[in-house]
Amino acid sequence: MSALLGHSHPDIVATVREQIGTLDHLFSGMLSRPVVELCTQLAALAPGLERVQLLSTGAESNEAAIRMAKLVTGGHEIVGFAQSWHGMTGAAAAATYSAGRKGYGPAPVGSFAIRAPNAYRPRFKHPDGTLDWRSELDDEFALIDSQSTGNLAAFIAEPILSSGGIIDLPQGYLAALKKKCEERGMLLIVDEAQTGLGRTGLMFAFQRDGITPDFLTLSKTLGAGLPLAAVMTTAAIEEEAHKRNFLFYTTHVSDPLPAAIGLAVLTAVEREQLVLKAQQRGARLRQGMLDLQKRHECIGDVRGRGLLLGLEIVTDRELKTPGFTLGARITEECMKRGLSMNIVKMPSLGSIFRIAPPLTATEQELDQGLEILDESLKAARQG
């Protein structure tokens, strides 16, 4: 999910060696050239989101966005998806619903969740059985309105819910969600920790819907595996937050070393045309997985975008019965053959492999992975 450029990419290696010998850490109030240049380039990639703060982790970037949204709106209620993952710190953990909620006491007042639309397991359907996400969204927000005390501050959303089982929000959903937020005076936070910087075949996944969120948070892919994150917002929001004495501060805010790495990542993404390659190789990988689905009855669904794909394992295609035990066997068989496969096991969703190779993966490597998966599927089913 994080190694956007694979491991030990020469640009990253060279940048770390050079920057560590020049300047690695500064007092957070002092801005270095790598920090200014990275913020400038990020702002150019996301027009309308020209105010940038650099942090270390995705949880921190989501924490900062939520904190700013509360300050600017004057509200305290935060809505997320019931299958979400936004981090393990305070407000980010309160907006994380896919795991890690039990045993830690009460969440902050005003923590609400709605279910993300799932095209494979639709709750609201058109007459032909396909997902009716608009009716579902209307119904979910009617429930939010009935619970809210009139202090809604923000909605935080991943364009593709990864830990939630590679649930790709339908085209148009983010635009409709933004409208719901605007109607209620809420701000929209889009968490692109895993989808940002080309992985879905666009620089940012939200661009498919033709909208600009109020906040964009980046992390995993921005540092290509090293600790770097960013929160981006509009000039109007940042200026209002500044007037209200916004404070979000860590020891490593705006450190020059990770900022230099971020610059190297952006340079490599552009020079190597990795956004286009994510489209092309993602299509190749998806087709390979669809071919596997034709040969293996245990593959219930193939979904996702670009090089962030999901493969759901079932024991009965018609009933869509999750294949938890079978999925675990497939994972073991893949590892025996040198392929690491990350599986999500959620009783309410199913048994889903999350497949996110580096954008630098070659066609030969993708084909090899598909070949190993094919062999492992056969071995697991025979076992």
Tokens at 326, concatenated: 């079978």
DSSP per-residue letters across 148-210? --S-EEEEEE-SEETTTT-EEPPTTHHHHHHHHHHHTT-EEEEE-TTTTTTTTSSSSGGGGGT
Active-site residue identified among 220, 277, 286, 305: 220
Q: Which of 132, 206, 194, 197 is nearest to 163 (CA)?
A: 194
Strands annotated E in the chain: 51-55, 77-81, 111-114, 152-157, 160-161, 167-168, 187-191, 215-218, 229-233, 299-305, 308-316, 321-322, 342-346, 350-355
Residue pair 92/100 in contact (Cβ under 8 Å)? The answer is no
Catalytic residue among 60, 77, 136, 191: 191
Provide the β-strand partners of residue 114: 81
d(CA 124, CA 129): 9
DSSP per position, 281-296: HHHHHHHHHHHHHHH-
Give catalytic status of residue 220 as yes or no.
yes
CA 237 to chain centre: 23
With a CB cutoff of 8 Å and minimum separation 6, the contacts of 235 are 50, 51
192 among known catalytic residues:
no
Give catalytic status of residue 158 as yes or no: yes
Residue 116 DSSP symbol: P
Catalytic residue, from 19, 85, 136, 168: name it: 85
**Residue tagged active-site, from 194, 303, 305, 329:** 194
Active-site pick, 158, 168, 209, 255: 158
Q: Is position 345 annotated as part of the catalytic site?
A: no
Catalytic residue list: 85, 158, 191, 194, 220, 354
